Structure 1
Amino acid sequence: MTTDVAIVLTPFIFALMIPVFHRYISKRYIGWLVMTVSFILFFLLAAYIPRISNGEVITFTHEWIPSLGINFTTYLDGLSLIFSLLITGVGSLVGLYSIFYLSRSEQLYHFYCYLLLFMGAMLGVVLSDNLLVLYGFWELTSVSSFLLIAFWHHRKASRAGARKSMLITVAGGISMLAGFLMLYEVSGTLSIREIIDKVDLIRGSALFVPALVLILLGAFTKSAQFPFYIWLPDAMEAPTPVSAYLHSATMVKAGIYLVARLTPVFGGEAVWFWLVTGVGLFTLFWGSFNAVKQVDLKALLAFSTVSQLGLIMSLLGMGSVAIYLGYSAETIIYTQAAFAAIFHLINHSTFKGALFMMVGIIDHELGTRDIRRLGGLMSFMPLTFTIALIGSLSMAGLPPFNGFLSKEMFFAATLHIQDLSIFSLDHIGFLIPIVAWIASVFTFVYCLIIVGKTFFGKVKSHWLDKHPHEAPIGMLISPYTLIIFVVGIFFFPNLLGQYILRPAMASIYPSFPSTQELTPTIHAWHGLLSPELWMTIFVIIAGIILYSILKSWKPIYRVLPQKFSLNEIFNNGILLSESLSARLTNRYMTGNLTDYFVYIYLAFLLFVGGYFLRADLMVLSPVHLESLEVFEIILVLIMIVSSIGIVFATSRITSVFLNGVLGYSTALFFIVFRAPDLALTQLAVESVSTVLYLICFRHLPEIKKEMLPKWKKIRNVLISAAAGATVTLVGFAAIHYEKFMTISYYFNDSYELAGGKNIVNTILGDFRAFDTMLEVVVLFIAGLGVYAIIKLKAKGGGTNENQ
């Protein structure tokens, strides 16, 4: 097992160890243990930087289900290395921050178990080469993030936010899975590397566009793109360490990773360009526009995250045109959009992580995040103010901070793209830099709100739960570490570019021969006449003006009624689906056994009988009655009489007796047809069932005939006759029918296929292994549910759902 595989598995191993050994680990040290694990993983990954920067790709394959092409393959290249470093690096800082943020009265063992589970799932997503394995980890990130968001489960808002994020991201994941299966259908492989090698075959398929759209749905839901972003603000009910980790550096970047990874497959197509670029740009604008109206600092940062994710997504869309244009000295400039996307992804993780931690400090020390109750904190919390100032100015795109460099490259990319004459850009391409500039103005405004409304002005002590004071040094270490990167990257950007960003560009453009040319030299100064600099200057001017007259234009947010918001549409959709489900359930869950049989037999007639007729299987073989033995005829007659007798029986004892006759007659048929093991099983089951029926039914009253309307009686007779006729016809058609290979022919090789001489045993233990395993899992889950109910009943527990 190589180091990269160990990196994926280590968080899961420690996540399993915490529940087992938590009695031996003090709450005082559990956070330090988790931080140390992620810190070690970060340095193990950092050790790969020299090899990856030299163009090496590190892979490992463990055959899992080779017959289906599902193998556990890790693939560490420039793109996955960046995300892995962010996952473990920011994870280390979040672990340190959480030690001082969370109280020891919290369920810390649960929290750190969930955190490690999420870390391992994210590492699995970015390091997996197999699409189905990637999908498994992808959904595990949704499950683990659900647990983290709902960590304060006693809060109704936390539970609601977790459910919303789960519903939206899992729904997107299912659509993504459908897209993956389409890619497999076309390419014949689940390996991402092999799919990229077969890109010409895939582009010529009719499934290309459907797969593209379905995969983008998964990416957009996970990365909070419009209109799926609504889960992210509600997820802010999670503890601040969770927000700083999931919603700035890791989970929301999973969709970004997927788009970047599959750009070699889908990039260069007009549908991909307009969906990724268009949705990204609108998300950039919509997120920044809505961030301005927020009064909760954490909600403001949530919408700012939505906006920044839209910026990164749009850059990846713009960078995809380089694949359409092909590699040349003239078109290499368009690859700089993708370079800016990866560069800003790193920058965003640094300044946004620091800002989330800053908000957590304010909430922790003052007891509120409400901007209306804050103000004048600069003199009381100068260190926290420094974090807010540097992080906000970097997010606004001002020097000397890393956000300025990537924001300038973003403006430059929008200006270059509008000059192209492909994909109808010569008609509407001019809108791209305009939308980018307007969104940047709103970005500047909400950055001024973060700093100005929180740290300047008068102190509103009467609105605060606690007296303003600076945070303990332990809570400041993590955000200040990120702030050092914010400043350091500005002064040494090309160090990052050559060793980190350049290998990632080779992953996005694998068909381009020179990765050195794909990596531009990053300059903080492009000259006084550079258009992107003037765009930034006018952003500052317009932003200051809008901020100064904020009260006069903020009422525009009330123009659109709340009932037409996406949140209301989502909530109403959930309520409507629940109402329809309840109505549908009440229609068929009548409590009447006759109704249930009607539904079962109608479904049987529809699917089995319908297919039987449609597939032209009405090939009836002649029945040679002379070959029947006398005792076989007698057994059949006995079963017929018993069956009819059950229908007209007026006593439960009589019904049980006749049912037993049917069961024992079946066992006799097994003996006649030389299946003694089945006969023994049938006899044992029938005996036990008959005894149980007799014990139970003796306590019940006599059968009362149900007075059914005449039409229901006719309906039941027709359905019964049709079901019986269908079974009979299927049985006749199966005799000597050779259109399809028999199922038994496959199982004849059970010894070679499964190593078992008993066919029945091999069917249950090997051929139906997954089915048997899932049955056991269902029983295990049911057992856990019964155990939990008993324990809850014993403690007199339960939670108030209205809290």
Structure 2
Amino acid sequence: MTHLHMAILLPFLLAAACRLLQKLLSRVHAGWLIIPAPALLFIYFVTRIPSVQEGHAISGRIPWIPSLGIDFTVYLDGLSLLFALLISGIGTLVVLYSIYYLDKRKELVGLFYIYLLLFMGAMLGVVLSDNMIVLYAFWELTSISSFLLIAFWHNREKSRYGALKSMVITVFGGLAMLAGFVLLYVMTGTFSIRAIIGDLSAIMGDGLFAPAMLLILLGAFTKSAQFPFHIWLPDAMEAPTPVSAYLHSATMVKAGLYLVARLSPVFSGDALWFWSVSLAGMVTLIYGSYRAMKQTDLKAMLAYSTISQLGLMMSLLGLGSASAFYSVGSQSLLYTAATMAAVFHLINHAVFKGALFMVVGIVDHETGTRDIRRLGGLMSFMPLTFSIALIGSFSMAGLPPFNGFLSKEMFFTAVLNITGMDKLNMESFAILFPVAAWIASIFTFVYSMLLLFRTFLGRKQPDKLDRKPREAPVGMLLPPIALAVLAILFGLFPNLLSYSIIEPAMAAIHPGQLVPGEHFVVTISHWHGWTTEIFMTIGVVLAGTILYKLHARLSAIREPLWTRRLTLNRTYDEGLRLLDTGSRRLTNRYMTGSIRHYLIYIFVFLIAAIGWTIFRTVDLAALHLADFAPMSLFEAVSMIVLILSVIAVPFASSRMIAIILTGTAGYMVTLFFVIFRAPDLALTQIIVETVSVTLFLLCFNHLPELKREAAALRFKLSNLLIAVGVGAAMTLLALIASSERSFESISHFFLESSYKLAGGKNVVNVILVDFRGFDTMLEILVLGIAAFGICALIRLQPGTSDKQALPANEQDNGRGKRSRTSNLAVRSNDVILKTIAKAAIVIILLFSLYMLNTGHNNPGGGFIGALMAAAALILLAMAYGRRTLRKVIPIDYRVLTALGLSVAILTGIGSFLFDAPFLSHTFGYFDIPLLGTTELATAMLFDLGVYMTVVGMTMTIILTIGRDK
């Protein structure tokens, strides 16, 4: 495991320990316990800058599912380093800010930081993963953790609505992205992004290339809030302000930008990629900036501002992909200027937008409102906050000398460069790019001025505020001050980032645009003379100032763009409502509450699936039925008895007879296992039948009297057809499987390897506890869950307390004793049964332990032994009563089930101590006093866990059903 793996895992480990640390240090705000993690991560990634700057990427790999090409592979180059620095650096400031924003006496701060750490780890996983499947897993984890953060104030309906909307849209995009990744794998045979970039010839011209591209872009556009998928972001602003400052300005919404930048080397040579990314970004840029001017809520204004800025960066990444249409040279490097602007603005946006979100949080925290119509004149009350807002707003508006001015000028340069592109026949309408950029910049200037001046200047309105405004605490001011200082620093000294951060990121996005050994030229300055860009900026300021002055008078700016009936949000709401209504109606059609109907669905599907498969793939006339062994008279008689007992079940006059006939069929199957020399299966079947019949008899007590009424012919005929169909399908399947073998039987491997590899001569048991031990562990886990579920269903009945749910003999009579009024407390008076039971119980229990001990080499094992032990305990309860069973064997069988599961799981985990895969068993021979040389296998511990679980599960079910009157 490398340092990069640990960097990803650190937030998850701290999240797991967060509640424990909070309990140990209850007087300390949880944020102070959390803040060292992002700070240490930021320091670590800063120390990686020199190595990455020199072109030495850092990678590591942990095998996960090698057979499918899925490994936990991490890769740190210039692009992933840029995002890792933003995630950890902004994360540190956000945690510090949240310590003063969230009151630990009123908020569940422990849960808040758990969610925040989960998100931080997931984002690091996204930007550091080289394997697309691992990247997808972290991608969806960001959606889940952001859902939890947005819904942190879950008592608010708007918070729940915003959280659900964000998850629905981003998870939908994530699933589309996964489909695109699978298509890339189909084309290339690898999930490694680096491997795909290294061999682009495998996918160029493939018919799946365009579908894969569009599906991946769908995931990127939904995550980065591109039009028309942007609608989740404004509603997500119901989250606490630290969440908005972190997720929606610096990290989560940038994940889509990261994906586009990371996969640009794969798709940038295609015109569809260029147009899709560029136009989607431009439309989002203009729409977001226009909507931002209409907002009266400060966070809503910043939300649409974020949408606009994300569109700007997305369009720059699209324009930068134009360099792929040219060979390495000056013409190619001309268009990489757009990528340079995208990378630089990515940093600048995180800085000034993070500061502005924190400023809005301070205003809300100190005044009780974010409504711009109720604010004004706050500069005199909050001078430091005003200074931070001025720097952030001017930077967002693109005014010198702040960092936003530089990246905005580079944006203008990029859109002007694209007008000279002689590819893709763009000459006629390429001018639309700079025009759209200029108009959107005017809107950006206007809402930046609205945010600053309407909040901090103008007439004071203290009567409209919930509390008297004052300056925020120093701890809450420090994070936005740090970001404001960076906005000034990067504005005055932009080349601090040129070759340390920007150039390595560009090299990662355009790996094929440089001659080996050379670097991109990254020089950023305020003045380049009287260029077209500077005149565009002057025009933005002049037009923006006029529009700002007219803002209150122009209804076209203040009123909604469309009527309320024609909005994307309404389309989303109505679509979700229709899906919910339709799914409910469809579900109600087939979920009738009838077990018969559910069995019909299952059996009809089974018949159809098997029948269609046989019809399409098997020639029934070519079956080699003559090779089957002849049936002896004893086998024929046994088969006839089995068939008659099964046929008689539907005609039984009472449930008792039906249970007896069902048991008869089960015991006849046991006889066939004996005939065909399968002792393990025979033992298992006979004990299962014994326990099953007991269980049926216990349930029999709860059922109403069986009444055979004349059923309709249609009812009987449908039952007959389904029964015959299932029987015919399974018979044909068995005959086909026995007569034709397309592959060599795997039984030879198990027969030859069970002793060599697992030290066991009983192949059946070796398969269960060693070769297929993982299957067995999952099976006992399901059994344990089923036992606890049955217990909960019976004991915790709706509308009753735990005490009321217990039978009379289990209730406390107020003197510390149990009442004995229950019928079940009366013991059996069958002297013969008691006499036989005294001997039989001891013999069965001893034989059960013998089966457990010898099962690795002889017929038996933990499962068979456990069922045998359960049968003995059931016999004890039947003969002497459940109270005697509790007295003689005072065991809580639910605890026994849990202990058995723990033993099985810990046995599997123990393999890790020896650097072996999960549930890897071993064996050896040891000299033991009195016993001599004895074979010991670790699989015996696993089998013991199976034994304990099955005993506990069986007795929990039997006693729970049996105790209920």
- Relative to the length of structure 1, the TM-score reads 0.94
CA distance in structure 2 between the partners assigned to 1:190 and 1:28 by the alignment: 45
CA distance in structure 2 between the partners assigned to 1:383 and 1:795 by the alignment: 58
**Counterpart amino acid of residue 270 in structure 1:** A
Q: Which residue of 1 aligns with 2:596?
A: 594
Contact 1:149 1:242 in 2 (8 A): yes
Structure 1 stretch 351-360 or stretch 595-604: which is displaced more?
Answer: 595-604
Higher relative contact order (CA 8 A, sep 6+): 1
1:439-588 to 2 correspondences below 5 Å: 439-514=440-515, 518-528=520-530, 530-555=531-556, 557-558=559-560, 560-588=562-590
SS of residue matched to 1:562: coil
Alpha-carbon distance, 1:126 to partner: 0.9
Structure 1 stretch 262-271 or stretch 181-190: which is displaced more?
Answer: 181-190
**Counterpart amino acid of residue 443 in structure 2:** F
Which one of the candidate residues 702, 718, 723 is aligned to 1:720? 723
SS of residue matched to 2:512: coil
Contact 1:149 1:158 in 2 (8 A): yes
Q: Which residue of 2 aligns with 1:800?
A: none
Structure 1 stretch 58-67 or stretch 330-339: which is displaced more?
Answer: 58-67
SS of residue matched to 1:74: strand
**Counterpart amino acid of residue 91 in structure 1:** G
**Counterpart amino acid of residue 76 in structure 1:** L
* Runs of 5+ consecutive residues of structure 2 not aligned to the other structure: 803-965
**Counterpart amino acid of residue 92 in structure 2:** S
Contact 1:261 1:507 in 2 (8 A): yes
**Counterpart amino acid of residue 670 in structure 2:** A
Structure 1 stretch 620-629 or stretch 499-508: which is displaced more?
Answer: 620-629
Contact 2:122 2:138 in 1 (8 A): yes
Alpha-carbon distance, 1:419 to partner: 2.1
Contact 1:52 1:503 in 2 (8 A): yes
CA 783–163 in structure 1, closer or farther in 2 if over 3 Å, else same = farther
Structure 1 stretch 774-783 or stretch 436-445: which is displaced more?
Answer: 774-783
Alpha-carbon distance, 1:771 to partner: 8.7
CA 280–23 in structure 1, closer or farther in 2 if over 3 Å, else same = same
Contact 2:70 2:191 in 1 (8 A): yes
Alpha-carbon distance, 1:5 to partner: 2.5
Alpha-carbon distance, 1:609 to partner: 1.0
CA 93–624 in structure 1, closer or farther in 2 if over 3 Å, else same = closer
Q: Which residue of 2 aligns with 1:622?
A: 625
Alpha-carbon distance, 1:308 to partner: 0.6
Q: Which residue of 2 aligns with 1:799?
A: none
Q: Which residue of 2 aligns with 1:762?
A: 767
Please list the CA deviations of residues 226-272 of structure 1 after superposition, one character each: whole Å capped at 9, or x if unmatched. 12111111111111111101111111111111111111111121111
Q: Which residue of 1 aligns with 2:116?
A: 115
CA distance in structure 2 between the partners assigned to 1:569 and 1:676 by the alignment: 64
CA distance in structure 2 between the partners assigned to 1:752 and 1:256 by the alignment: 55
CA distance in structure 2 between the partners assigned to 1:198 and 1:185 by the alignment: 14
Alpha-carbon distance, 1:187 to partner: 1.3
Contact 1:375 1:453 in 2 (8 A): yes
CA distance in structure 1 between the partners assigned to 2:370 and 2:734 by the alignment: 72
Alpha-carbon distance, 1:718 to partner: 2.7
CA distance in structure 2 between the partners assigned to 1:784 and 1:193 by the alignment: 47
CA distance in structure 1 between the partners assigned to 2:505 and 2:228 by the alignment: 29
**Counterpart amino acid of residue 769 in structure 1:** F
Please list the CA deviations of residues 535-566 of structure 1 after superposition, one character each: whole Å capped at 9, or x if unmatched. 22222222222222223333464352222211
SS of residue matched to 2:553: helix
CA 298–775 in structure 1, closer or farther in 2 if over 3 Å, else same = farther
CA 532–795 in structure 1, closer or farther in 2 if over 3 Å, else same = farther
* Runs of 5+ consecutive residues of structure 1 not aligned to the other structure: 797-803
Q: Which residue of 2 aligns with 1:169?
A: 170
CA distance in structure 2 between the partners assigned to 1:394 and 1:14 by the alignment: 36
Contact 1:86 1:250 in 2 (8 A): yes
Structure 1 stretch 743-752 or stretch 700-709: which is displaced more?
Answer: 743-752
SS of residue matched to 2:60: strand
1:552-701 to 2 correspondences below 5 Å: 552-555=553-556, 557-558=559-560, 560-618=562-620, 619-622=622-625, 627-701=630-704
- Relative to the length of structure 2, the TM-score reads 0.79
Contact 2:378 2:457 in 1 (8 A): yes
SS of residue matched to 2:39: helix
SS of residue matched to 1:59: strand
1:122-141 to 2 correspondences below 5 Å: 122-141=123-142
CA distance in structure 1 between the partners assigned to 2:575 and 2:256 by the alignment: 25
CA 735–170 in structure 1, closer or farther in 2 if over 3 Å, else same = same
Please list the CA deviations of residues 94-124 of structure 1 after superposition, one character each: whole Å capped at 9, or x if unmatched. 0110111100121111111111111111111
**Counterpart amino acid of residue 523 in structure 2:** T
CA distance in structure 2 between the partners assigned to 1:375 and 1:761 by the alignment: 78
CA distance in structure 1 between the partners assigned to 2:462 and 2:56 by the alignment: 58
Please list the CA deviations of residues 443-489 of structure 1 after superposition, one character each: whole Å capped at 9, or x if unmatched. 11111110122112211111110011111111110001000110100
CA distance in structure 2 between the partners assigned to 1:275 and 1:768 by the alignment: 50
1:140-179 to 2 correspondences below 5 Å: 140-179=141-180
CA distance in structure 2 between the partners assigned to 1:785 and 1:143 by the alignment: 31
Contact 1:281 1:310 in 2 (8 A): yes
Alpha-carbon distance, 1:523 to partner: 1.6
Contact 1:748 1:759 in 2 (8 A): no
CA distance in structure 1 between the partners assigned to 2:801 and 2:694 by the alignment: 38
CA distance in structure 2 between the partners assigned to 1:91 and 1:599 by the alignment: 52
Q: Which residue of 2 aligns with 1:333?
A: 334
SS of residue matched to 2:180: helix
CA distance in structure 2 between the partners assigned to 1:386 and 1:376 by the alignment: 13
Contact 1:414 1:432 in 2 (8 A): yes
Q: Which residue of 2 aligns with 1:3?
A: 3
CA 265–767 in structure 1, closer or farther in 2 if over 3 Å, else same = farther
Alpha-carbon distance, 1:794 to partner: 11
Contact 2:670 2:682 in 1 (8 A): yes
CA 787–504 in structure 1, closer or farther in 2 if over 3 Å, else same = farther
Q: Which residue of 1 aligns with 2:77?
A: 77
CA distance in structure 2 between the partners assigned to 1:459 and 1:278 by the alignment: 43
CA 508–780 in structure 1, closer or farther in 2 if over 3 Å, else same = farther
Alpha-carbon distance, 1:332 to partner: 0.8
Please list the CA deviations of residues 668-701 of structure 1 after superposition, one character each: whole Å capped at 9, or x if unmatched. 2222222221222222222111111111112321
Alpha-carbon distance, 1:534 to partner: 1.7
Contact 1:27 1:104 in 2 (8 A): no
1:706-785 to 2 correspondences below 5 Å: 709-740=712-743, 742=745, 744=747, 751=754, 755=758, 757=760, 758-759=763-764, 761-762=766-767, 766-767=771-772, 769=774, 772-773=777-778, 776=781
SS of residue matched to 2:170: helix
Q: Which residue of 2 aligns with 1:273?
A: 274
Contact 1:501 1:519 in 2 (8 A): no
Computed over aligned residues only, the root mean square deviation of the Cα atoms, in angstroms, reads 2.7
Alpha-carbon distance, 1:291 to partner: 1.3
CA distance in structure 1 between the partners assigned to 2:552 and 2:711 by the alignment: 71
Please list the CA deviations of residues 503-559 of structure 1 after superposition, one character each: whole Å capped at 9, or x if unmatched. 11110111233485523311211211x112222222222222222222333346435
CA distance in structure 2 between the partners assigned to 1:392 and 1:706 by the alignment: 82
Query: Percent of aligned pairs with the same residue?
Result: 51
**Counterpart amino acid of residue 774 in structure 2:** A
**Counterpart amino acid of residue 586 in structure 1:** N
Structure 1 stretch 582-591 or stretch 702-711: which is displaced more?
Answer: 702-711
Q: Which residue of 2 aligns with 1:386?
A: 387
